[in-house]
Every structure is written in structure tokens, then in C-alpha cells.
Amino acid sequence: MRFRFIEEHAGGFEAKRLCSVVGVSTRGLRVFRSRPASRRQRSDLVTLAHIKEQSRLSLGSYGRPRMTEELKEIGLDVGHRRVG
């Protein structure tokens, strides 16, 4: 969470200064930046791509319950909260 905050505000402030304010090391920030996406993040990206595609195909008329059922039909294990 701290590293994500630094990434979001790095445009307006120097990264080294943000690290000292938040209380993390600059080395930790470098490791965070080079770390690959987690399994959950990759899964979320795939789910989001399917949601956007289904929404586009339905002309934006699908709600959360119907979208959840569509995603389950194509094999994604999702619930209403994750789709929402």
C-alpha cells in the first residue's frame, strides 16, 4: 500500500523524499517496481477484460447478477462482489 502511494504521487514529488516520508527504503521501492504481478492481479485483469467485453456486447445493459452468470458460463470462478 505504501509503495502504491509512492507510485501514484511520484509525478509531483521526488521518489526518495516520498520514501522517507512514508517510512520505506528506496531499495524496497525498486524491488516493488521490478516484482511481477501476483496471481490475483493477473486473474483480476483477465476478469476485467471479460467484463468489459460482455458489457460491450450487451450494449451496457447487463447488471451485476447477469454478468456474474455470463462469466461463470465461460468458466471464470467469480462472485457478485468481485464482478461489482
pLDDT in tens, 24-73: 998 988 888 888 888 888 888 888 888 788 778 877 777 778 878 878 88
Tell me which residue of 1, 6, 11 sits closest to 26, measured CA to CA. 6
Of residues 58 and 84, the one with the higher pLDDT is 58
In eight-state DSSP terms, residue 25 is -
The upper half-sphere exposure of residue 62, i.e. CA atoms within 13 Å in the direction of its Cβ, equals 21
Cβ contact 12:19 at 8 Å: no
Q: On the CB side of 57, how many CA atoms lie within 13 Å of its CA?
A: 8
Q: Name the pTM for this structure.
A: 0.52
**Assigned C-alpha cell, 54:** 460482455
In this predicted structure, the answer to whether residue 84 has a pLDDT above a threshold of 70 is no
